[in-house]
Amino acid sequence: MDTSSVTPGGEACISERQNSILTAGKSKTAIHCADDSLAGSVSQRACVFCGARVVLNPVTDAVHLVHGPIGCAAYTWDIRGSLSSGSEMYRNSFSTDMKERDVVFGGEKKLAACIDEIVEKYHPPAIFVYATCVTGMIGDDIVAVCKGATRHHNTEVIPVESSGFISGNKVVGYRAAALALMRLITPKDGEQIEKTQKLNFLGEYNLSGEMWLARRYLAEMGIEINVAFTGDSTVAALKQAPGACLNLVQCTGSMHWVAQQLEKEFGTPFMDVNFFGAENTAESLRKIARFYDDPTITARAEALIARETARIRPALERYRQKLTGKRAAIYVGGAYKAVALIRQLRELGIEIVLTGTQTGKTEEYATITSLLDEGAIVVDDTNPAEIERFLIEMKVDVMAGGVKERVLAYKLGVGFVDHNHDRKECLAGFDGAVNFAREVYISTCSPVWKYLRTPAGGA
Amino acid sequence: MNQLLECIPEGPVEHTTGKINPAKTCQPLGAMYAALGIHGCLPHSHGSQGCCAYHRMHLTRHFRDPVMASSSSFTEGASVFGGAANLKTSIKNVFAIYNPEIMAVHTTCLSETIGDDLPNIIKTAEIPEGKAVIHVNTPSYHGSHITGFSGMCKAMVSYLAQSDSPVKKSQMNVLPGFVNPGDMREIRRIVDALGVKMIMFPDTSGVLDSPLTSRYQMYPDGGTTVAEIRDSGNSEVTLALGAFASHDAADVLQEKCGVTGIPLRLPIGLKGTDDFIMAIKDWFGFEIPASLTLERGQVIDTLIDTHFHYQGKRVAVFGDPDHVIALTEFLLTMGMVPVYVLTGTPGKAFEAEINKMLTDAGITGARVKAEGDLFELQQWIKEAPVDLLIGTSYGKYIARAEDVPFVRFGFPILDRAVHPLMPVVGYRGCLRLIEQISNALLDRRDRDCLDEDFELVL
């Protein structure tokens, strides 16, 4: 039977998606985004629960209890590379493992029993209780159960209202997580948290120790991180969040709202930073120094930037020589990451011919489009057929994305660099710029590729 | 302090409700995996997008190959008013855009809780001529991924299998169970050597172990064709490998089309492989070819050459029930002592079968549990240690915390590669298991022994 793939031409694309794709320099209209995915599409998107879990799970000493059938807990068990310097509690998987009878009669009792057992066993400083599709559907009142448990056990039991079906957009889950965080850090009546000269680092998940690297830079400048949201954080440290004098925001999708809340509630100003790529890192460190308005800090920042830039220049130059003229595609979750990647790949002499995100907003797409050369393609919430089509049409050499794009790119003979939560290499800061260049290089220039093009290969 | 040890608190603890570190996942994943073993099939998840994304990601992490599936993309509206419209639109869109031969729909806890009536929705949907839509109900709050796999196999039979030949054909069906594509290839190699015509379904070889060709095929060359599954109703006999994943589908095939079903274990280990080959020989009456006799002899030779490396060692095994049952049998053949045997899938039959094997082998005091979790397994190991742990990647936390040698086996394996292509079934699978188990124990010995005990020849 002939079963060649779906024609990778225009037919493979859903016509209703045409507004979700545009060409830089040519299209006049804004991209259509944040739509719900079509029924029947092979989307790369996830759900509300997924978004909430990604944001909260790095809180290391909390117990993360998923209230639902087993799958939701199983698929999110320690799949993100957020590192901890202390507790490893967050890497265990807790589920109420709902059964048929719980669905019929309600799962509140079982949830309460699970919380009791967890408190008795582990005495965690906080338990995050995640709602899932079913618990939302049958109307389990997790807020009430958590309230009761908090009172009963004198420990924080915090509901996360993350029923998957509310939206196919992870951003809605980020908000659910943000609400839970605000609930955790808002001081109780009478509590007073003193302002310090420290800063919070929002939207930094300490993947491969990236927060630790930023902490080193800041320490050298004479600035201390109060707490990161949420990489390598603890419940106690998060409660000190109102004491910061500044909030840095890295992953804007997940944390802008939190930053706005912190400004409203505690008067803490915030600024966007980006530690991906040497240029971005330098720019961010200068921005932070400007905030402190202290000549010593500024001088230290400049010294650090000069030293590190000089240190990594030879390595980057070596990679740039190998990579100049290669063509790259980017498909990532949030827009901030896409922007960072565009700049980083450019630094390596690579041309970006395709960029897409799962959750970008209209104004973010405008930024992306303005950064790209004419003719580059921009897509929102794409699917494998589109990715395939563009990778081939645009003659892409290397793609940056997540786990689902990795295997697809490989099959097409395209190199790949993981810039998702699965990454195992520190990609932030000056050292990260070199690591990133190496990752791009080893995948783009793997000696294996040449065997594809021999008669014995399959191509 | 080893922070991973935190999982098991100090002092006596009782674990009575919920799961801590599960040893199973939910039904839809199994249904999706089974559906991928049909040629030209697009699995479809009837629920919200997250489920579909998670299943694809989980399968992709194990197989390191693209996994395609569509979703009904439920949002709040569908959840309130029912998902019928979403499914009908999905069916229309899927055939218009992705053009599969067949669409295999499974439900999720969301659509199950809403109560969508799938048979009726599918009946009234627009399905293009010559195309098929099958479905299975896979509420995540029941059973496990193995239950979902079994359900999708049953759906293949009840939707597709036909008994339309006047006499049964001299051919055999094999239901291979939730095994890797490498295992399915090995089953085919053995059956080919025996000279029997076989319809194996599902068959993910050529789908999830496909070569890199610089060309992406949404529907790779592998998989059992719809025509073959239809024709399975005309076969004389079905070998159903594994009680939990395959026996139900064989029963339905027997009932529906009068094909004799022979329930077997997975052909993992010497006896399991012997039983599989003998069942074929007994039915069709062929001689066993010399090539297979040779392979069997090599396994026995290797077992004797290596028995002193592992005989008498205490071992803990966990994973999917059919895998664990078959492997426990082989561990007993190897003279090892399975002291903890656990599966996350519910089913008292698992406990009964393992307990009988252990009793027959004269092993007492073992702990055997269905529907258990890895908290319990770790607690047992902490109370009385083992020499070796065998199981999925999730065992690595226990292996590290309790400092136990570890052999990866079953699904999922997320931290190692190549395993989907290397069979654990058949005689070749025996050799691989012997090698992995011996090496794990010997590597540990080389690592831990004193300089004066460090030896070149072992």
Question: What are the tens digits of pLDDT across the range A93-105?
Answer: 999 999 999 999 9
| A139 within some domain | yes
Same domain? For A32 and A77 the reply is no
Determine contact: A231 vs chain B, CB below 8 A.
no
Helix-helix angle A295-323:A278-292, to 10 degrees:
170
pLDDT for the residue numbered A340: 85
Look at B362 and A367; give whichever has higher pLDDT.
Answer: B362
pLDDT band per the 50, 70, 90 thresholds, residue A420: confident
Nearest Cβ partner of A100 from B44, B89, B141? B141
Domain end marker among A132, A153, A185:
A185
Residue A314, domain member (yes or no): no
Helical H runs in A249-358?
252-266, 278-292, 295-323, 335-347
Write down the pLDDT at residue A423.
77
**Residue A296: inside a domain, yes or no?**
no
**Are the Cβ atoms of B108 and A6 closer than 8 angstroms?**
no
In the predicted structure, residue A232 carries a pLDDT above the cut 70: yes
Over range A85-92, report the average pLDDT: 94
Best B141, B320, B373 residue to mutate vs chain A (most A CBs within 10 Å) = B141
- Using the beta-carbon criterion (under 8 Å), do B79 and A137 form an inter-chain contact? yes
- Vertex B182 angle, CA B179 and B184, to 5°: 60
Mean pLDDT of A180-203: 93
A231 assigned to some structural domain = no
Give a yes or no: residue A267 inside a domain: no
DSSP secondary-structure letter at A445?
T
Cβ-Cβ pairs closer than 8 A, A with B, add up to 276
With beta carbons less than 8 A apart as the criterion, state whether B395 and B374 touch.
Answer: yes
Q: Report chain A's terminal Cα–Cα distance, integer Å.
A: 21
> What are the structure tokens assigned to B251, written together?
């029963």
Through-space distance between the first and last CA atoms of chain B, rounded to whole angstroms: 34
CA distance A197 to chain B (A): 32
* The pLDDT value given to residue A375: 84
pLDDT for A8? 34
Q: Tell me whether residue A309 is in a domain.
A: no
CATH architecture of the domain covering B169-209+219-287: 3-Layer(aba) Sandwich (3.40)
A71–B28: do the CB atoms touch at under 8 Å? yes
How is residue B361 written in tokens? 């082998």
Tell me which residues of chain A, numbers 110 to 129, contact chain B at a CB-CB cutoff of 8 Å: 110, 113-114, 117, 120-122
Question: Between these two residues, A386 and A325, which has the higher pLDDT value?
Answer: A325
Same domain, yes or no: A350 and A389: yes
Test the B interface: residue of A6, A60, A70, A117 with most B CBs within 10 Å: A70
What's A56's domain CATH number? 3.40.50.1980
A421-435, B246-260, B295-309, range with the lowest pLDDT: A421-435
pLDDT band, very low/low/confident/very high, at A455 (cuts 50, 70, 90):
low
pLDDT of A30 reads 61
Same structural domain, A52 and A181: yes
What's the number of domains chain A is made of? 2
Q: Does domain B27-160 have CATH number 3.20.20.210?
A: no
Residues of B in contact with A232 (CB under 8 A): none
Please state which of the ranges A9-18, A118-127, A246-255 shows the lowest mean pLDDT: A9-18
Same domain, A68 and A151: yes
What's the whole-number mean pLDDT along residues B249-271?
Answer: 98
Q: Is there a single domain that holds both residue A30 and residue A61?
A: no
Residue A1, pLDDT > 60, answer: no
Q: Inter-chain contact A74–B26, Cβ cutoff 8 Å? A: yes
Which of chain A's residues have a Cβ under 8 Å away from the Cβ of B50?
46-50, 164, 168
For chain A, positions 165-194, list CB contacts with chain B under 8 A.
165-168
Residue A459: what pLDDT? 43
Average the pLDDT over each of A302-311, A352-361, B324-333, B420-429 and give the range with the smallest value: A352-361
Within 8 A of B76 by CB-CB distance, chain A residues are 165-167
Residue among A4, A12, A99 minimizing CB distance to B97: A12
In tens, the pLDDT along B99-123 reads: 999 999 999 999 999 999 999 999 9
Whether B113 sits inside 8 A of A46 (CB atoms) is no
- Looking at the complex, report in whole angstroms how far the Cα of residue A74 sits from the nearest Cα belonging to chain B: 6
Task: Identify the sign of the CA torsion B85, B91, B93, B96.
Answer: negative
Among the candidates A185, A205, A240, a domain finishes at A185
Mean pLDDT along residues A378-391: 81
Residue B11 has pLDDT above 90, yes or no: no
Mean pLDDT of chain B: 95
| Each residue's pLDDT tens digit, B12-45 | 778 889 999 999 999 999 999 999 999 999 999 9
Residues of chain B found within 8 Å of residue A114, distances taken between Cβ atoms: 17-18
pLDDT for A15: 61
> Which of the residue ranges A106-110, A274-278, A453-457 would you say has the lowest mean pLDDT?
A453-457
Please tell me the predicted confidence (pLDDT) of residue B148: 98
The residue-averaged pLDDT of B349-375 equals: 97
Instruction: Note the pLDDT of residue A44.
Output: 66
- The answer to whether B169 and B230 are in contact (CB under 8 A) is no
pLDDT higher than threshold 60 for residue A456: no
In the block, residue with structure tokens 């004419």: A374
Percent of chain A with pLDDT over 70: 91
Structural domain containing residue A383: 10-36+324-423
Is there a single domain that holds both residue A145 and residue A87?
yes
Per-residue confidence (pLDDT) for residue B216, from 0 to 100:
83
> Rounded to a whole number, what is the distance in Å from the CA of B93 to chain A's nearest CA?
6
Mean pLDDT computed over every residue of chain A = 88
Structure tokens given for A203: 């939207």
Query: Where in chain B is CATH 3.40.50.1980?
Result: 27-160, 169-209+219-287, 291-453
Q: Which residues 92-111 of A have a C-beta within 8 angstroms of B?
A: 92-100, 102-103, 110
A69 and A152 within one domain: yes
pLDDT at position A419: 78
Q: What is the pTM of this model?
A: 0.94
A200 in a structural domain: no
Find where tokens 């010593």 sit.
Answer: A296
Residues A19 and A78 in one domain: no
Task: Give residue B370's pLDDT band: very low, low, confident or very high (50, 70, 90).
Answer: very high
Band of pLDDT at residue A5, cut at 50, 70 and 90: very low
Decide if B95 contacts B128 (C-beta within 8 A): yes
Q: Does A6 touch chain B (CB under 8 A)?
A: yes
pLDDT band with cut points at 50, 70 and 90 for residue A3: very low
Domain B291-453 - what CATH class?
Answer: alpha beta
Q: Quote the tokens at residue B23.
A: 């040893």
Instruction: Identify whether residues A29 and A77 lie together within a single domain.
Output: no
Q: Is residue A181 part of a domain?
A: yes
Q: Which residues of A touch B219 (CB under 8 A)?
A: 3, 5
- Chain B partners of A412 at a C-beta cutoff of 8 Å? 214-216
- Per CB-CB distance under 8 Å, the chain A contacts of B54 are 46, 50, 71-72, 75-76
Report CB contact under 8 Å: B25, A12.
no
